[in-house]
């Protein structure tokens, strides 16, 4: 968890640097060498700001709402398989915190609970614009959750299990294409599901180009308008952790997780997983830098009219192919 928190802080740094490079400028360079101490400076600033609570706000709910987002995002990491088993000082340690046999759904469940952080925070702010922004955001997240789940059904059909460790094992088997033998990563057998998952993942975390509830209403307000200082940072960093978790999830499901040369013998599996995660995070930042954002009705229209039928089509085709080849 410590790694995750530090990773999340430096994710902000990574994002600023990459966005800057894409926009032909430099990003943070002054705090520390190459701006590496920037997240620490941001943290100190956020801790030091005054904590304002609106008078009409509902205090217990106001207090807990950002925590829900933060905590559920961190808890989701419990099911990601970071490897098989290592022996440290004579003790066997499993590198997966909780190898549940419904692992993939566990992650989806926790991201469903994360919606409450948004919606309760919006309501507790006693601010009409917050409420509307929060409701929009929650509606967006709930719609894209459906697509997230449905796009994974194809993978569950191919691997026969919801356990993420099993899914990684299935992808480590060899796939023969002509004279080549590569790992059976699901991105090759489920390309449509991969595209749908990436789109839904970007929308789930309220990131560009789907960040209308955060950005446009931010011009007026947004669901986190009444949150200052550390509470705001809970929302903000919770979003980054959710990004990291979904990138880990995507690398596990589609790119084979800890699979890669040297992962069996030299224990380099976790390095490969981190590399793939960083690749997905780069993709997230790339989308943010490049695409304009969707208008809210376009966003919801795409989810229900385009992506949902495509996800169902993916399920039907996968099932048909599996039936035909068995």
**Rule CB under 8 A: is residue 50 a binding residue for other proteins?**
no
Residue 142 interacts with other proteins (CB under 8 A)? yes
Site string for other proteins, 282-301 (x = CB under 8 A): ---------------x----
DSSP 8-state class, residue 256 = -
306-325 b/e (C-beta count within 10 Å ≥ 16 → b): ebbebbeebbeebeeeeeee
Which range binds other proteins by CB under 8 A, 28-36, 113-121, 281-289, 310-318? 113-121
Among the listed ranges 102-110, 228-236, 241-249, 318-326, the one in contact with other proteins (CB under 8 A) is: 102-110
From 113, 126, 229, 310, residue interacting with other proteins (rule: CB under 8 A): 113
Asked if 214 is part of the footprint of other proteins (rule: CB under 8 A), the reply reads no
Report how far residue 198's alpha carbon sits from residue 6's, in angstroms, rounded to the nearest whole number. Answer: 24
Selected from 12, 31, 99, 112, the binder of other proteins by CB under 8 A is: 112
Site membership for other proteins, residue 201 (CB under 8 A): no
Q: Count of CB atoms within 10 A of residue 251's CB? A: 26
Residue of the chain from 73, 115, 167, 253 that contacts other proteins (CB under 8 A): 115
Produce one character per residue of 164-182: b if its CB has 16 or more CB atoms within 10 Å, e if not: bbbbbbbbbeeeeeeeeee
Smallest gap, in angstroms, from Cβ of residue 204 to other proteins?
A: 12
Task: Determine if 145 is a binding residue for other proteins (CB under 8 A).
Answer: yes
Q: Which of 9, 54, 58, 209 binds other proteins (CB under 8 A)?
A: 58
- Closest distance between other proteins and the C-beta of residue 275, in Å? 30
| β partners of residue 92 | 87
Quick check: 195 binds other proteins (CB under 8 A)?
Answer: no
Helix (H, G, I), strand (E, B) or coil at 254: helix
The DSSP code sequence of 141-189 is HHHHHHHHHHHHHHHHHHHS---HHHHHHHHTSEEEETTEEEE--HHHH
Report the residue from 37, 61, 268, 274 that binds other proteins according to the rule CB under 8 A: 61
CB crowding 103-115: b at 16 or more within 10 Å, else e? bbebbbebbbebb
Can you spell out the DSSP letters for 17-86? HHHHHHTTS----SSSGGGTTHHHHHHHHHHHS-----TTS-HHHHHHHHHHHHHHHHHGGGG----SEE
Q: What are phi and psi of 182, to 5 degrees?
A: -115, 170
Q: Is 161 in the site for other proteins (CB under 8 A)?
A: yes
Q: Is 119 in the site for other proteins (CB under 8 A)?
A: yes
Based on CB atoms, which residue is closest to other proteins, 102 or 229? 102
Among 80-88, 120-128, 255-263, 280-288, the segment contacting other proteins (CB under 8 A):
120-128
Chain positions contacting other proteins, by CB under 8 A: 58, 61, 100-102, 105-106, 108-110, 112-113, 115-116, 119-120, 122-123, 131, 135, 138-139, 142, 145, 149, 161-162, 297
């Amino acid at each position: 968890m410590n790694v995750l928190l530090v990773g999340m802080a430096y994710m902000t740094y990574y994002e600023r640097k990459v966005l800057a490079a894409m926009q032909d400028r430099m990003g943070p360079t002054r705090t520390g060498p190459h701006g590496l101490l920037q997240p620490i400076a941001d943290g100190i600033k956020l801790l030091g700001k005054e904590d304002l609570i609106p008078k009409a706000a509902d205090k217990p709910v106001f207090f807990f709402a950002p925590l829900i987002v933060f905590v559920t995002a961190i808890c989701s990491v419990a099911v990601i398989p970071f490897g098989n088993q290592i022996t440290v000082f004579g003790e066997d340690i499993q590198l997966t915190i909780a190898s549940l046999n419904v692992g993939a759904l566990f992650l989806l469940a926790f991201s469903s609970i994360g919606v409450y952080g948004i919606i309760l925070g919006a309501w507790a702010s006693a601010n009409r614009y917050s409420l509307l922004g929060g409701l929009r955001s929650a509606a967006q997240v709930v719609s894209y959750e459906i697509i997230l789940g449905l796009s994974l059904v194809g993978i569950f059909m191919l691997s026969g299990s919801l356990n993420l460790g099993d899914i990684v094992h299935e992808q480590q088997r060899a796939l023969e294409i002509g004279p080549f033998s590569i790992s059976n990563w699901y991105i090759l057998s489920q390309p449509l599901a991969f595209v749908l998952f990436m789109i839904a993942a970007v929308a789930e975390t309220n990131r560009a180009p789907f960040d209308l509830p955060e950005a446009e209403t931010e011009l007026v307000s947004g669901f986190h308008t009444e949150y200052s200082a550390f509470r705001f940072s809970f929302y903000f960093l919770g979003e980054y952790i959710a990004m990291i978790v979904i990138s880990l999830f995507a690398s596990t499901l589609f790119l084979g997780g800890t699979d890669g040369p040297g992962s069996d013998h030299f224990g380099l599996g976790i390095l490969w997983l981190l590399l793939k995660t960083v690749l997905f995070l780069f993709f997230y930042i790339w989308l943010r830098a490049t695409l304009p954002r969707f208008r809210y009705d376009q966003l919801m229209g795409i989810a229900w009219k385009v992506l949902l039928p495509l996800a169902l089509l993916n399920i039907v085709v996968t099932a048909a192919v599996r039936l035909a080849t068995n």
